[in-house]
Amino acid sequence: MKGIELLNNPFLNKGTAFTNEERKQLGLEGLLPVNVRTLEQQAEQCYEQFKAKQTDFEKRLFLMAIFNRNRTLFYKLTSEHLVEFMPIIYDPVIAQSIEQYNENFSRPQDAVFLSV
């Protein structure tokens, strides 16, 4: 797996943590920002972006976008901020997310969709 296909796989995508050598080998040159960042640096940057969100719902959408792009980064962030994130990624904010699912749908998350 290479290029865009690799970047679209949330289980394999490392975002800007791909080294320059990996970028050459995997056809990622020009598809990512030039600077290589460690997982820790990515997590710091994402947490700052998370804190800038105004509402818990915006924070949830932000975190779920990371979940859909880069599972390693999502779980790194969640493990570092578990107490802070739990009410956002689960109850009570998940209820609002479910109510507005059609309006905010971006990518299926390996789920079954039932019409009730």
Please tell me the predicted confidence (pLDDT) of residue 98. Answer: 62
Please tell me the predicted confidence (pLDDT) of residue 89. Answer: 85
Please tell me the predicted confidence (pLDDT) of residue 90. Answer: 81
For the chain, what is the mean pLDDT? 88
Chain segment 9-53, per-residue pLDDT in tens: 999 999 999 999 999 999 999 999 999 999 999 999 999 999 999
User: 81 burial class (0-12, 13-18, 19+ CB within 10 angstroms)?
Assistant: middle
Query: Is the pLDDT score of 66 beyond 60?
Result: yes
* Distances from the Cα of 116 to the Cα of 5, 113, angstroms: 34, 10
Query: What span, in angstroms and rounded, lies between the C-alpha atoms of 11 and 7?
Result: 9
Structure tokens at 68: 């859909």
Domains, the chain: 1-37 (no CATH), 38-116 (1.20.1370.30)
Q: Which of 32, 16, 33, 96 is nearest to 59 (CA)?
A: 96
Structure tokens at 18: 């791909």
